[in-house]
Structure 1
Amino acid sequence: MATIKKTIQEINEKIKKGKAVILNAKEMAELVKNVGKKKAAAEVDVVTTGTFSPMCSSGLLFNFKQYPPLIKASKVWLNGVPAYAGLAAVDAYLGATEPTEDDPLNRVFPGQFKYGGGHVIEDLLRGRSVHLRAKAYGTDCYPRKYLEKDITLGELNDAILLNPRNCYQNYNCALNLSSKIKYTYMGPLRPHGANVNFATSGCLSPLFNDPYLRTIGTGTKIFLGGGVGYVIGHGTQHNPSPPRNQRGLPLKPAATLMLKGDLKQMDPKYIRGLSIIGYGCSICVGVGIPIPILDEEMAWFTGVSDEDIQMPLIDYGEEYGQGKAKPLKYVNYSELLSGSIEFEGKKILTVPVTSYSLSLEIADTLKKWIEKGDFLLTEPQEFFI
């Protein structure tokens, strides 16, 4: 069989003609296992991926319009959640993890929060009114010093989901070997290693299907929160050179992506505010990335199975917070999905913080968009590895 070589332009032409073959990542893993990478590369044009998981480094860049007299806001709140207003007159950025200043839960349990920026974003997306409050010091061109009104998503000039760090390529499995319960961004961890919490969507996870980011870069068009979004750069804490296993998959948290999309196009099913007990507020974000099968290597990468993915088991009990924690062992994703793992002769319950069912739904939704010709692929303009 001749070597398979395709271009994104050629694949897009097939999509336009309704002749492209699209599989989700789970289907592709089965195909590569059964027929091998050469035949899979010849048969398949695009593989769709998906993940729905807490992604703390997310937020909303918004413009709330001018209402005479004009204002140059220096402090802004939405439903009591502070937004950063050091941008322009009525531009502000709302972080997903920012809590309300007077959270009722925090009054009873200090350090715990019920409502934050992620919840405001979800409320806007669900069509609910949120309370805008803005203060200013006043200038000749912007004389207003105070603004207070209820607004909806439709009333905002701009509402851009702008996420500095999403889609971690691999992540820690968290357990707690100390004698006290630990409240973490991975959820509560019971003492003496009673549970292991883990993230990512395994073989469906976008960056496991393109471990060297050959097809993902600045300008890549994606599914974001139920609408169309784009990769606009590598994310913060991006690590392009992690240790890898024999399949090229990273053995620790590695690549990340910076994403943007129009919130007004999105679906609240795939954007949800989150309160993590004892930790604070966050947001769950749905992301799906199409992987073009340009050659046999990309078929091999997208043939990744849950058994191929090795994740580091980290003790969050004491040393993690000091930056000293090291992997206790590596666990494959299939074991984690089974509901328990073995550690030091003991069976430990495993708890996912990523929704596997919604991750698969996202991959399938993106697959349908491409099959219908509503979604074409884009050429990356900058690569990160």
Structure 2
Amino acid sequence: MSQATKTIQEINERIRKGTAVILTAEEMVDVVRAKGKSAAAREVDVVTTGTFSPMCSSGMLFNFGQEPPLIKASKVWLGNVPCHAGLAAVDAYLGCTEPSEDDPLNKVHPGRFLYGGGHVIEDLLRGKAVRLKCQAYGTDCYPRRELDKSVTLADLKSAELLNPRNCYQSYNVAVNTGSRVIYTYMGPLKPGMRNANYATAGQLSPLFNDPFLRTIGMGTKIWLGGGTGWVIGAGTQHNPKPQRNERGIPLTASGTLMLKGDMKGMSAKWVRGVSILGYGCSLSVGVGIPIPILDEEMAWFTGVSDADITMPVRDYGHDYPNGVNNVLAQPTFEELKSGEIAVNGQKVRTVPLTSYALSLEIAQELKAKIEKGEFLLTEAQDRIPSK
């Protein structure tokens, strides 16, 4: 690890004075390429990243408050979507992939959900009222057995976006070598490898810009869903020891983050319910993470370009569902963005699940907040394993 040339405290002082130099990760690529990492480290203080993509391991932890007579809910539904209620009396968790029990599309075509937990979360952020239904077994201190009413986000005593696994550091490119269309969380995949679906925001993606998690850890303040959020640790399925290229970029799916933030400060523009044809429901989440340029090493990392990033192509028609980790190809993100890649000598059309345009808008919005002094950086309170 190279010797630090700046501290986060020094960078924050520059932000307060209005003298800090803030660039998006896209802008940093050109600076490092033109001037080198040493000059970039001297000139730049913060690089902002962003991603807007379906993140299935997301949900809302909420408390709906008490009213007499009191209740200890054992079963909870929001918008006819089942929630987990094995918590305290009026706490529950709504997972974004849980489908509505009365989804009209699912009744006609099982597995083709139209509405689910992610859509309930978006409806609440849009100020809509949703139906809250609770059942309870009744106790001396909590005698009520049923509750049925409409609630808005403002009515909830608290509502936290609590996401166990977000911001994957690299991910699979999904193809289908089979003979029929298959419906996956990566979207519909045509037979004979007629499309390749991929995710992440490439050079804008947070964990590509800090591949060894030097600055991102427990307690890192982030931009989440249009409001303020926090990294609360490693995400589930976090893999600290992937194979990497010479820039430290993982060759397979690896790092993940666990995130939280107060939904009452968020926007439905950046937290949207998703229906994935033939598979189910999800939630697209916007995340922006500032990377402090402490030294030359961090300048070098944040200078990563789409051409430096490769992603593994896997067969979801056979290998993936059977747990076979065979990699068919390793195209660059630049090639994926071009609209076509080569897999085993075959040209395959590529389809992004992540919006690069909205990811860039997030990085730009975070940049503007820092430049105005409205967003300061934080020291990570604990490292997330990375190697």
Report the TM-score when normalising by structure 1.
Answer: 0.99
1:102 Cα offset (Å): 2.0
**1:197 corresponding residue in structure 2:** 197
1:4 Cα offset (Å): 6.3
**2:80 corresponding residue in structure 1:** 80
User: Within the alignment, does 1:60 sit opposite 2:76 as a pair?
Assistant: no
Moved more, 350-359 or 319-328: 319-328
**1:105 corresponding residue in structure 2:** 105
Q: How far apart in 1 are the matches of 2:340 and 2:204? A: 20
1:305-384 matches, within 5 Å, as 305-384=305-384
1:1-385 matches, within 5 Å, as 5-385=5-385
SS in 2 for 1:275: strand
Q: Check the 8 A contact 2:328/2:343 in 1, yes or no.
A: no
1:345 Cα offset (Å): 2.7
The one-letter amino acid of 2:69's match is P
The one-letter amino acid of 1:97's match is T
Q: How far apart in 1 are the matches of 2:213 and 2:248? A: 11
SS in 1 for 2:269: helix
Q: How far apart in 1 are the matches of 2:343 and 2:301? A: 29
Query: Runs of 4 or more off by more than 4 Å in structure 1?
Result: none
Q: Check the 8 A contact 2:75/2:85 in 1, yes or no.
A: yes
Q: How far apart in 1 are the matches of 2:85 and 2:347? A: 50
Q: What is the aligned-residue RMSD (CA, Å)?
A: 1.0
1:104 Cα offset (Å): 0.9
Q: Check the 8 A contact 1:316/1:325 in 2, yes or no.
A: no
Q: Check the 8 A contact 2:329/2:344 in 1, yes or no.
A: no
Per-residue Cα deviation, 1:84-133 (whole angstroms, up to 9, x for no partner): 01101100000000001121111110112111000000000000000000
Over the matched positions of the two proteins, sequence identity in percent amounts to: 67
Moved more, 321-330 or 114-123: 321-330
Q: How far apart in 2 are the matches of 1:280 and 1:4? A: 46
The one-letter amino acid of 2:133's match is R
Q: How far apart in 2 are the matches of 1:204 and 1:64? A: 37
Cα separation, partners in 2 of 1:137 and 1:335, compared to 1, 3 Å: same
1:224 Cα offset (Å): 0.3
SS in 2 for 1:19: coil
Q: How far apart in 1 are the matches of 2:96 and 2:249? A: 29
SS in 1 for 2:32: helix
Q: Check the 8 A contact 2:52/2:270 in 1, yes or no.
A: yes
Per-residue Cα deviation, 1:297-343 (whole angstroms, up to 9, x for no partner): 00000000000001001011112111113111101000000011122
Q: How far apart in 1 are the matches of 2:375 and 2:3? A: 27
1:347 Cα offset (Å): 1.7
The one-letter amino acid of 2:140's match is D
Q: Check the 8 A contact 1:53/1:199 in 2, yes or no.
A: yes
1:247 Cα offset (Å): 0.6
The one-letter amino acid of 1:268's match is A
Q: Check the 8 A contact 2:51/2:288 in 1, yes or no.
A: yes
1:344 Cα offset (Å): 2.7
* Count of aligned pairs: 384
Q: How far apart in 1 are the matches of 2:342 and 2:231? A: 38
Report the TM-score when normalising by structure 2.
Answer: 0.98
Q: Check the 8 A contact 2:230/2:261 in 1, yes or no.
A: yes
Per-residue Cα deviation, 1:350-369 (whole angstroms, up to 9, x for no partner): 00000000000000000000
SS in 1 for 2:361: helix
Q: How far apart in 2 are the matches of 1:343 and 1:125? A: 42
The one-letter amino acid of 2:297's match is E
